[in-house]
Chain A
Amino acid sequence: MQKNLKYKWATIVITILICLYGIIGLPKSKDELVANWNRNIRLGLDLKGGSHLVLQVQVQDAFKAEADRVIERIKEDLRRAGINYVAMDRNDPNSIETADQIQINIKGIPSERSGDFRRIISEEYQAWNLTPVNSTDYRMTMKPTEAITLRRDTVERSMRTIESRIDGLGLTEPVVQQRQRTDGEGEILVQLPGVDDPARIKQILQTAAMLELYEVKDGPFPSQEAARAKHGGVLPLNTKLVRQQPRGGDTAEAWYLLARTPVITGRDLRNARPSQDEFGKWETEFTLTQDARNRFARFTEANIGNRLAIVLDNQVRSAPTIQNRIEDQGRITGAASQQEAADLALVLRAGSLPASIVYLEERTVGPSLGADSIQQGFFAGIVGLIAVILVMLVYYRKAGINATVTLVLNAIILIAALAYFEAVLTLPGIAGIILTVGMAVDSNVLIFERIREELREGKAIMAAIEAGFNKAFLTIIDTHVTTVVSCAFLFIFGTGPVRGFAVTLVIGLVANLFTAVFVSRTMFETSLARKRQMTSLSI
């Protein structure tokens, strides 16, 4: 018995030490203790303040862009093969669900060239299925496997872009993750601790940041009609009209006629940074990669005196005249502030988004509210705990000490487990803790009441304790397993907050089996072992 007790106490002490180490480490000073505590106990955004954003990648944009690229290439191929066509366009799926219903309609292929046409399409465009509508018209649809790949790639590329933009902001401990749900494809969760006004960050994340440099063919024109009128009603081959970005207060439109294919795209950028021009105005400077540098040099040399349009997100930012051969530098002017120039540099460095994004959810807890919640929640918790302990001590006398020790120990193990699992404590997590405390109290009460019953039946103290623990244990196991079973389902089928509840509760219940049953029993046995001739039990 004595030796047995020693082992039991050793187990208990080692457990406590491991837990304390997990919570506060090995502090050498009071400051270090506080710092370790703050590092190990991770509070959720709802408690410490910060922004939580859920955004959705509009994958249909990528499908449309892909279809546009394919149309351009087919036109080029047909031109080279000398095959005429009347019209070529795509449909306009406008939701994520309908993205893979993208189709390209090709009309008016002469029936005598249909063989050549089919050969070109089937050889060059293997991602697409070609279906004839009638003898001259065709429809192209994307193969399902390709559609799945495109969907996944779009979401992954968007996520990487968003990640690198967030990284560029230099925030502390941001989280960017894809939401793992079957039907929530394309949802990305961004958590930004300590950010209480996410407006600027939302703007940064939402910017497509598609930079392109084009040769200016003609312009500017005051309207699209004016541009068409000058060229006899139709746009010249391989050109497009792009609007100039409206400047503050200036409502006059300006349209440029640009070459269809860009000279330089965002992928050719090596770096971008904010800078000031000679008048102190903010702008964003960019440098090109080695490969693009040669191309750009050749182009500018051949086009001295012509204009070059800098197009950002399908709007002309500026259209300077090429003065001389430029190798690898360019600048985007017109930033309103240093911040704006720096933000643009940031998004250019991080790369462009393959599809637009929409915000589905935004939750921002200001730091003051978080601080209040912690303080009030903590205070309420302490008041509740003290009330429970007092009642237990009065009602169960010395056995109440057992209950108090087990309750406190339970809390320590629970907090330590959260620290070791790097779990985050949120409001629903606190709900889990409250139920844990409730069930821990219940376990103690069950055991004590059972021991009292056994004593009333006239059993010896030793036997009463033994029987009390054994009988109550069966009940405790049933209540605990039932709750763990339900937690498993909550974890599998629930979302974030519900899962937080389930995780905390399961940890608490396992801790409770250890404290209320094992630790409490060891305490009873120890007090019995000390006084062999105990005639009454304080319970």
Chain B
Amino acid sequence: MELFKNTNFDFLGKKWPFIIGSLVLLAVSLGSLVIKGGPRYGIDFKGGALMYVRFVEQPPTDRIRSALSARIPGEISVQDISGTSEVIVTTELRSERELAEARRQMVETFAATFGSQEGKLDFNNAGDQAIVDRLRDPLQRAGVGMSEQELQGLAQRLTDFRDTPPRSGLVRSLDDLSAVQGVTPQVLSVIKSEMYAAPFAIRNVEMVGPKIGAELRRQAIMATLYALGGMLVYIAFRFEWIYGVAAVLAVFHDTIVTIGLFSIFNEEISLTVVAALLTLVGYSMNDTIVIFDRIRENLKVHRRESLHAIINSSINQTLSRTVMTSGLTFLTVLALFLFGGPVLRGFAFALVVGILVGTYSSIFVASPILVFWHDFQEKRKRATPAAGAAARESARRPSVKSFR
């Protein structure tokens, strides 16, 4: 099966609508970034506390928000994760000192809002050790003889049961625990007299002090810039320097558009999103190099043709490959976006956007830059009459380094 056989689209001839489109996209992205005062950083980069909380039923976000803002100062966001009964709660942390307290405050607020039972332990938010300590004496009093090791094993089985899907950290009723091995009716009644099951469970807590946030942000940006610089130098060495510049500009275009889209959709930039951006940089660069490689090869073979025509035919020759690769990679990323779960969603979103933009930019950003540069050089050489016929000759046929 072959989809593209000897195609001959005039990509560069139709470049203007796309270049204008790119410029508009860039302007919109930068505009959104300027208006919103930079990208919306996640807590990784600005400091703050973040919690994933799972509820038995659809969580009442407004109630959570008002309960939290009554106790915790600063900006608070409570966000639904669509398709689940989970919310992401984020609060500010203005200094490292607040970090020690943040979790306790949030847990207490949840307990107070969604009902706690005085004197009992919340099974859904308890660790193994707490359960062991809680059950040790009552079990003994109830006449259930258990060695410390057996008790540890029981607590482990109880929490394992709670933490595996479909419960995923939250049992609705303590009666469900009777399915756990070793939970006899007697044990269950002790469990029920000592513990209760709150209608929420905290699944994930991230707290980053503002100092480390700023540091992480600086480091991620520097690492990416150095990496781009390294690629520019390598491509300049293997091809010509303008190829390096064109490739890096195209990648820059992709990154800015993706960050811009994050800004427009109000998505946060977290460390995982940075990993996705790095992936996109790698992908887009790969795509660009494949086309450049073909241009270099064609320049050697078809010496008589204009650069414009050579680039066009190079894009056409690699078109089948471009579509196949992008399509296949897109499939993997789409699967990740659809089935990867909430933790991976921001990451997958960046890649879905990135692959589309990355493929596009190789054809409509990187390649036109080569043509523009070539035309610019030609014009300059014509402007200097002293250069004479030799210059004109070389201008018609761009110089290319041979393979190393």
On chain A, the residues within 8 Å of B170 by CB distance are 368
Q: A426 to B2: give the CA distance in the assembly, Å.
A: 38
Q: Does A498 contact B (CB under 8 A)?
A: yes
Q: Does B293 contact A (CB under 8 A)?
A: yes
Q: Does A446 contact B (CB under 8 A)?
A: yes
On chain B, the residues within 8 Å of A432 by CB distance are 275, 279
Tell me the nearest residue of chain A to B332, going by C-beta.
Answer: A384
Q: Does B211 contact A (CB under 8 A)?
A: yes
> Are A366 and B206 CB-contacts (below 8 A) given A199-B103, A376-B340, A501-B278?
no
Q: Report the count of interface residues on A (CB-CB < 8 A).
A: 86
Tell me the nearest residue of chain A to B333, going by C-beta.
Answer: A434
On chain B, the residues within 8 Å of A337 by CB distance are 133
Q: A500 to B49: give the CA distance in the assembly, Å.
A: 24
Q: Does A478 contact B (CB under 8 A)?
A: yes
- Of A28-36, A141-149, A357-365, the one touching chain B: A357-365
Tell me the nearest residue of chain A to B159, going by C-beta.
Answer: A367
On chain A, the residues within 8 Å of B169 by CB distance are 366-369
On chain B, the residues within 8 Å of A397 by CB distance are 1
Query: How near does chain B come to A385, taking the closest CB pair, in angstroms?
Result: 7
> Are A381 and B336 CB-contacts (below 8 A) given A475-B290, A497-B275?
yes
A363 touching B205, Cβ below 8 Å: yes
Q: Does B11 contact A (CB under 8 A)?
A: no
| A and B contact pairs by CB, cutoff 8 A, 5 listed | A371-B164, A394-B1, A449-B321, A452-B2, A498-B220
B230 touching A488, Cβ below 8 Å: yes
Q: Does B376 contact A (CB under 8 A)?
A: no
B278 touching A490, Cβ below 8 Å: yes
B223 touching A490, Cβ below 8 Å: yes
> Are A388 and B278 CB-contacts (below 8 A) given A446-B321, A453-B317?
no
Q: Could you say which of B2, B204, B274, B325 contacts A445, with CB atoms under 8 Å apart?
A: B325
B219 touching A438, Cβ below 8 Å: no
Q: Does B215 contact A (CB under 8 A)?
A: yes
Q: Report the count of interface residues on B (CB-CB < 8 A).
A: 97
On chain A, the residues within 8 Å of B129 by CB distance are 200
Q: A366 to B333: give the CA distance in the assembly, Å.
A: 26
Q: Does A294 contact B (CB under 8 A)?
A: no
Q: Could you say which of A206, A362, A486, A494 contacts B230, with CB atoms under 8 Å apart?
A: A486
Main secondary structure of the interface of B (DSSP, over half): helix
Q: Which 10 A-B pairs have the closest CB atoms?
A: A368-B169, A376-B341, A384-B332, A384-B335, A428-B275, A368-B163, A486-B227, A494-B223, A380-B339, A438-B329
A498 touching B275, Cβ below 8 Å: yes
Q: A446 to B126: give the CA distance in the assembly, Å.
A: 54
Q: Could you say which of A377, A394, A456, A487 contacts B344, with CB atoms under 8 Å apart?
A: A377
A361 touching B207, Cβ below 8 Å: yes
B339 touching A376, Cβ below 8 Å: yes
Q: A206 to B290: give the CA distance in the assembly, Å.
A: 55
> Are A391 and B163 CB-contacts (below 8 A) given A366-B202, A377-B341, A498-B274?
no
In this complex, the member of A381, A485, A488 whose beta carbon has the largest number of chain B beta carbons within 10 angstroms is A485
A498 touching B340, Cβ below 8 Å: no
On chain B, the residues within 8 Å of A442 by CB distance are 286, 290, 321, 325, 329
Q: How many A-B residue pairs have CB under 8 A?
A: 267
- Of B15-23, B66-74, B92-100, the one touching chain A: B92-100
Q: Could you say which of A428, A437, A453, A487 contacts B272, with CB atoms under 8 Å apart?
A: A428
> Are A479 and B290 CB-contacts (below 8 A) given A392-B328, A495-B216?
yes
- Of B140-148, B231-239, B302-310, B390-398, the one touching chain A: B231-239
Q: Could you say which of B5, B220, B320, B332 contacts A388, with CB atoms under 8 Å apart?
A: B332
> Are A369 and B204 CB-contacts (below 8 A) given A380-B344, A479-B286, A479-B289?
yes
B324 touching A395, Cβ below 8 Å: yes
Q: A492 to B3: give the CA distance in the assembly, Å.
A: 43
Tell me the nearest residue of chain B to A449, going by C-beta.
Answer: B321
A387 touching B282, Cβ below 8 Å: no
Query: How near does chain A come to B393, taking the closest CB pair, in angstroms?
Result: 28
On chain B, the residues within 8 Å of A373 by CB distance are 341, 343-344
Q: A191 to B85: give the CA distance in the assembly, Å.
A: 29
B209 touching A359, Cβ below 8 Å: yes
Tell me the nearest residue of chain B to A374, going by C-beta.
Answer: B341
> Are A366 and B283 CB-contacts (below 8 A) given A359-B209, A380-B336, A494-B219?
no
Q: A26 to B67: give the CA distance in the assembly, Å.
A: 56
Q: Does A91 contact B (CB under 8 A)?
A: no
B329 touching A441, Cβ below 8 Å: yes
Query: How near does chain B come to A64, taking the closest CB pair, in angstroms?
Result: 19
In this complex, the member of A206, A394, A395, A438 whose beta carbon has the largest number of chain B beta carbons within 10 angstroms is A438
Q: A446 to B321: give the CA distance in the assembly, Å.
A: 6
Q: A392 to B324: give the CA distance in the assembly, Å.
A: 9
Tell me the nearest residue of chain A to B322, going by C-beta.
Answer: A445
Q: Does B182 contact A (CB under 8 A)?
A: no
B344 touching A498, Cβ below 8 Å: no
Tell me the nearest residue of chain A to B86, going by C-beta.
Answer: A369
Tell me the nearest residue of chain A to B290, going by C-beta.
Answer: A475
Q: Could you say which of B96, B163, B279 contacts A371, with CB atoms under 8 Å apart?
A: B163
A435 touching B344, Cβ below 8 Å: no
Tell me the nearest residue of chain A to B341, going by C-beta.
Answer: A376
Query: How near does chain A come to B297, taking the closest CB pair, in angstroms?
Result: 7
A364 touching B328, Cβ below 8 Å: no
Tell me the nearest residue of chain A to B5, going by C-beta.
Answer: A456
On chain A, the residues within 8 Å of B167 by CB distance are 368
